[in-house]
């Protein structure tokens, strides 16, 4: 599965002549452009601004994977797992770009006048062998609904409840109940409500947590070179190394790094393009570039900050009272408390609450849109929202191992039809990219160069 995920990214990156990397700077500028922010006259088809679309996707991707996932990967796969998270993200740019382009290109309007898109529509409308397209599109939608209760619900609330209990001594059932009610309130407003809340929460939470990580890294700057050398040695070591966290090699570092990297940035799962399809945009490739930056922000920036904070703090390899390795949110909290004292635990816990809460919101939209593809009845959406909120409470009191195993399985099943779609429709992605180059990209880059020269 991991070979297929990364392999698809490599294949698309080569087919696109490395444009997702070459145009990353352009893509980042687009995120904060007037058009993306929805300022001025924007008559393009869609429900929310390109920025709100990206924030909805980022709300779903920047979650427990950035705090719990990184810590888990570095405990189970060694420090070198962080390096393989970077590699998965690099090629994940092409995957995220491609699936977002297809989502906008093949999107449709539903009976409420809202845009609906994602791999299920790309497969249904793009495949020439219709019976195969019908089966794969239906399979993706079913797996996405299941995954919304795993990666988008159970793992998130489980991590919130665990962190709140450890930091503030609040029972898990109380946390589950409060979050379930808050999510239910936001879900009543649909995608517009989710988009507005996400565009407010995501930038604030990312900056808040990022500053906390930077403080840890700066205070432990003397350990930076040792931490980086551990990461690189562990990434390529054929044998187990590093004493206290021994038993890790190249294979385990790659396996856990790529697995947790994919869990974090979701490139190849087919989730983010469901949000991309709702954006007001003048070309599929423009939104493809904007949504692609989600992988950059998620893994290259936020996951890296977490990984470096853990590596520099000396927390990796810490044993708990039972003599077992500290992992998950507890490891990240240990890294912060070792440096900042009790305040560090509060920073991580608050960051985790915000990250996981926003992920729950983003994934509720993905699950609802996938269910909408399977059952057009408005009643089905209401039932889904009620069940989704109820599962939040259940997730708060469920053991972590069951939750993560369920999530990884659901993710894998969801990715298969999406990756097949990307490979089969890669010609459409290339064609749309070349079309955007000719119509917009070259002219916009030239205008920027002229403006810069004039200044």
Query: Whole-angstrom Cα distance, residue 62 to residue 55?
Result: 10
Average pLDDT on 438-449 reads: 84
What phi and psi, each to the nearest 5 degrees, are found at residue 279?
A: -75, 145
Average pLDDT on 284-290 reads: 94
Check residue 12 and give its pLDDT.
Answer: 97
Confidence of residue 240 (pLDDT cuts 50, 70, 90): very low
Query: Whole-angstrom Cα distance, residue 315 to residue 32?
Result: 37
pLDDT higher than 70, residue 376? yes
- Supply the mean pLDDT for the chain: 85
Query: Whole-angstrom Cα distance, residue 331 to residue 315?
Result: 7
Check residue 47 and give its pLDDT.
Answer: 73
Q: Is 232 exposed, middle or buried (0-12, 13-18, 19+ CB in 10 A)?
A: middle
Average pLDDT on 421-438 reads: 96
Query: Whole-angstrom Cα distance, residue 260 to residue 84?
Result: 9
User: Coil, strand, or helix at residue 236?
Assistant: helix
pLDDT tens for residues 99-139? 999 999 999 988 777 888 999 999 999 999 999 999 999 99
Average pLDDT on 172-201 reads: 83
SS (H, E, C) 136-168: HHHHHHHHHHHHHHHHHHHHHHHHHHHHHHHHH
pLDDT higher than 90, residue 193? no
Query: Whole-angstrom Cα distance, residue 256 to residue 418?
Result: 22
Check residue 242 and give its pLDDT.
Answer: 45
Check residue 448 and give its pLDDT.
Answer: 79
Q: How many residues does the chain have?
A: 455
Q: Do the beta carbons of residue 388 and residue 180 sit within 8 Å?
A: no
pLDDT higher than 90, residue 202? no
Query: Whole-angstrom Cα distance, residue 53 to residue 55?
Result: 5
Check residue 453 and give its pLDDT.
Answer: 67
pTM above 0.85, yes or no: yes
Check residue 43 and give its pLDDT.
Answer: 55
pLDDT > 90: percent of the chain: 34
Two tokens, residue 377: 């009845």
Q: Is 343 exposed, middle or buried (0-12, 13-18, 19+ CB in 10 A)?
A: exposed
Fold of 1-449: Amino acid/polyamine transporter I (1.20.1740)
- Tell me how far apart the terminal alpha carbons of the chain are, to the nearest angstrom: 50
pLDDT > 70: percent of the chain: 93
Check residue 241 and give its pLDDT.
Answer: 47
Two tokens, residue 329: 């949110």
């Amino acid at each position: 599965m991991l070979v297929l995920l990364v392999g698809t990214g490599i294949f698309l990156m080569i087919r696109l002549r490395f444009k997702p990397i070459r145009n990353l700077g352009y893509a980042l500028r687009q995120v904060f452009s007037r058009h993306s922010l929805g300022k001025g006259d924007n008559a393009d088809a869609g429900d929310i601004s390109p920025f709100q679309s990206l924030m909805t996707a980022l709300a779903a991707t920047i979650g427990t994977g950035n705090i719990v996932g990184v810590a888990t990967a570095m405990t189970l796969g060694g420090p070198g797992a962080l390096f393989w998270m970077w590699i998965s993200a690099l090629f994940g740019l092409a995957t995220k770009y491609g699936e977002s382009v297809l989502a906008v290109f093949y999107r449709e309007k539903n009976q409420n006048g809202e845009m609906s898109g994602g791999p299920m529509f790309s497969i249904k409308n793009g495949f020439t062998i219709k019976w195969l397209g019908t089966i794969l599109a239906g399979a993706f939608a079913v797996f996405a609904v299941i995954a919304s209760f795993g990666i988008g619900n159970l793992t998130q609330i489980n991590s919130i409840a665990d962190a709140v209990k450890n930091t503030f001594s609040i029972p898990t059932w109380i946390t589950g109940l409060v979050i379930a009610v808050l999510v239910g309130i936001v879900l009543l407003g649909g995608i517009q409500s989710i988009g507005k809340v996400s565009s407010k929460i995501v930038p604030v939470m990312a900056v808040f947590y990022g500053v906390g990580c930077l403080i840890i890294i700066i205070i432990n700057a003397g350990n930076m070179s040792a931490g980086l050398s551990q990461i690189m040695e562990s990434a390529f070591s054929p044998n187990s190394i590093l004493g206290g966290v021994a038993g890790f090699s190249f294979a385990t570092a790659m396996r856990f790094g790529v697995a947790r990297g994919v869990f974090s940035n979701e490139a190849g799962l087919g989730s983010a393009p469901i949000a991309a399809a709702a954006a007001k945009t003048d070309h599929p490739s423009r939104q493809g570039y904007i949504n692609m930056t989600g992988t950059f922000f998620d893994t290259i920036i936020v996951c890296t900050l977490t990984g470096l904070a853990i590596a520099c703090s000396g927390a990796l390899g810490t044993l708990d009272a039972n003599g077992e390795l500290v992992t998950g949110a507890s490891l990240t909290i240990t890294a912060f408390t070792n440096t900042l004292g009790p305040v560090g635990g509060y920073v991580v816990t608050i960051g985790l609450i915000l990250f996981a809460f926003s992920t729950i919101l983003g994934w509720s939209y993905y699950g609802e849109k996938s269910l909408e593809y399977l059952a057009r009845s408005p009643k089905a959406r209401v039932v889904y929202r009620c069940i989704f909120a109820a599962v939040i409470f259940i997730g708060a009191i469920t053991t972590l191992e069951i939750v993560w195993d369920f999530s990884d399985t659901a993710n894998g099943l969801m990715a298969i039809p999406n990756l097949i779609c990307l490979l089969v429709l890669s010609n459409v992605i290339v064609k749309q990219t070349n079309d955007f180059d000719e119509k917009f990209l070259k002219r916009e880059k030239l205008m920027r160069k002229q403006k810069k020269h004039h200044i």
